[in-house]
Amino acid sequence: MSAGSAPVTERVAVLDFGAQYAQLIARSVRECGVYCELRSGDADPEQLKAEGFAAAILSGGPASVYGEGAPRAHPALWSSGLPLLGICYGHQLLSHALGGRVERATHAEYGGAEMEVTAAEGVLSGFPACTRVWMSHGDLVLEPPPGFVVCARTASTPVAVIANAARRIYGVQFHPEVAHTPLGLQVLRNFLFGVCALRATWSMERYADQAASAIRESVGPAGRAVAALSGGVDSAVATALVHRAIGGRLTAIFVDHGLQREAEAEEVTAAFAGAFPALRLIHVRAEERFLAALRGVIEPERKRRIIGAEFVAVFEEEAGRLGTVDFLVQGTIYPDVIESGGGASAKAATIKTHHNVGGLPERMRFRLVEPLRPLFKDEVRALGMELGLPASLLWRQPFPGPGLAIRILGEVTRDRLALVRRADAIVREELAPLGLGREIWQGFAVLPGARTVGVMGDVRTYGELVAVRAIASRDAMTADWARLPHDVLERISSRITNEVPGVNRVVYDITSKPPATIEWE
């Protein structure tokens, strides 16, 4: 555990068997007010108990329980006394392990199904006789293990829910964690509060208190910390939390590389000064230095490397002036931990290693304070609200670390920055009424560096082309271009050509990711 992760008392493990929805199960459990973490499917139950886990939920997964190399649970799990809830593959796995019969279904079942409830007890406590559930499976439990009762069935799934109340082991073939199962959260609540007798103790208010005391303890009575504010949500909330914990012993450094969006540097610094007047905040204006380093640079990866290296250099210089500082605050969040493969689950593939401030910890021999490590993004936002950060800061769209530099194709100059910055502000102003969310994940302007011929007031022009990109996404890993209303596109186009000098044409990017990426560089 890195310094500053809060101790949480009541907790549940999601044992991950490679499920698409393992994170969603953990999110749903937390939504019920119980802390939850992912662990590897074969986690040792004694270890889980030693870590304070009071129950385990076995996730779904793509394998067949009788298939070669199918992931197995730890053999001691079944007799560990931990209350268990198996979902989909988890349901089949526990049925198979405890002596039931699992087979390949003649027809795989995907999508909504009507489920008939024959015993409204245990995880189905309070359920009506018939309810809609969401199924996604190719195998079936045909006979429950000895000692288990069948509580529900659908037309194609004869053993949809099983229960052994004495052993507190339950299995459901459907997915309670997805929104398409309307009573799904009720299944989880029945398990957590009815079967396991847990209490709903997980809230951001409580987390803020617990995390602040944990930070105080690990930083010690005289320890000093420094935070790099980027303008993003995670670094802002981590900074606010550590400030609550150690007050004036934290200094925040905002490296203003001059590649920010319109009014961004002022908004971020003003938001912090307003919410935390006692925080020591150093605003380093380094635009000249970054522009000088980027002069003549065209190749995108070189731009990123230069900006990263310059950022580290500026930060080091400023931090060096503070005297002895032992800790660096980082805004690492739970999906980063899982994606980096350093998380709970050995099953989650390593997709990319995240560093909010690339290269800093290695070079500077700081100890890390990462107080957001256990949190999902929406929890980070809720915590930020709890700590008094303004909603305008917590609900910004994602913005890349290298900033507008990777939205200017070709050389980054002061004039081109001013142009793309204004166009970007117009795009964001016009998209604002539509709200941010999955439908519009990001919307921005790009300067492709192409010039085209136009006509303005009977005069021929040879001006800049601006591209507008707006995408729909769940997580930025894949994306589709947003189907923006034509009148919104019309306003964006006419405002950019009228209000941004030198631009005579606007195009809309209609490429998904893949094959394109979200950013143009």
Tokens of 9: 């008392």
Task: Extract the tokens encoding 104.
Answer: 């390949």
Using CB under 6 A as the binding rule, whether residue 413 contacts ligand XMP is answered as no
Say whether residue 518 binds ligand XMP (CB under 6 A): yes
Tracing tokens 């409580």 back to the chain, one arrives at 206
Kindly identify the residues of this chain, within the stretch 386-405, that bind ligand XMP according to CB under 6 A. Answer: 398, 400-402
| Cα-trace Rg, the chain | 26
Tokens in use for 101? 């019969």
Burial category of 332 from C-beta neighbours within 10 Å (exposed 0-12, middle 13-18, buried 19 and up): buried
Q: Is 437 in the site for ligand XMP (CB under 6 A)?
A: no
309 binds ligand XMP (CB under 6 A): no
Over the window 261 to 300, marking each residue x when it contacts ligand XMP by CB under 6 A and - when it does not, the resulting string is ----------------------------------------
* Sole binder of ligand XMP in the list 442, 493, 497, 504 (CB under 6 A): 442
210 burial level (CB within 10 Å; 0-12, 13-18, 19+): middle
Q: What is the dihedral of CA 153, 159, 160, 163, to 10 degrees?
A: 110
Is residue 177 part of the annotated active site? The answer reads yes
Integer Cα distance of 476 and 252 in angstroms:
28
Closer of 156 and 511 to ligand XMP (Cβ): 511
- In the bound complex, what is the minimum distance in angstroms from residue 520's beta carbon to ligand XMP? 8
Residue 88 is a catalytic residue: yes
User: Is 443 an interacting residue with respect to ligand XMP (CB under 6 A)?
Assistant: no
Based on the shown chain and the rule CB under 6 A, indicate whether residue 476 belongs to the binding site for ligand XMP. Answer: yes
When the beta carbons of 10 and 339 are compared against ligand XMP, the nearer one is 339
Which of 175, 370, 379, 521 is catalytic? The answer is: 175
Smallest distance, ligand XMP to C-beta of residue 38, A: 23
Q: Binding to ligand XMP by residue 513, rule CB under 6 A?
A: yes
Alpha carbons 295 and 302: distance in angstroms, whole number: 11
Binding of ligand XMP by 351 (CB under 6 A) = no
- H or E element: which one contains 496? helix 486-499
Out of 32, 36, 88, 151, pick the active-site residue: 88
- CA pair distance 238, 229, nearest whole angstrom: 9
For residues 12 and 19, what is the distance between their CA atoms, to the nearest angstrom?
A: 17
**Is residue 332 a contact residue for ligand XMP (CB under 6 A)?**
no
Binding site for ligand XMP (CB under 6 A): 304, 398, 400-402, 442, 476, 513, 517-519
Question: Annotated catalytic sites, by residue?
Answer: 88, 175, 177
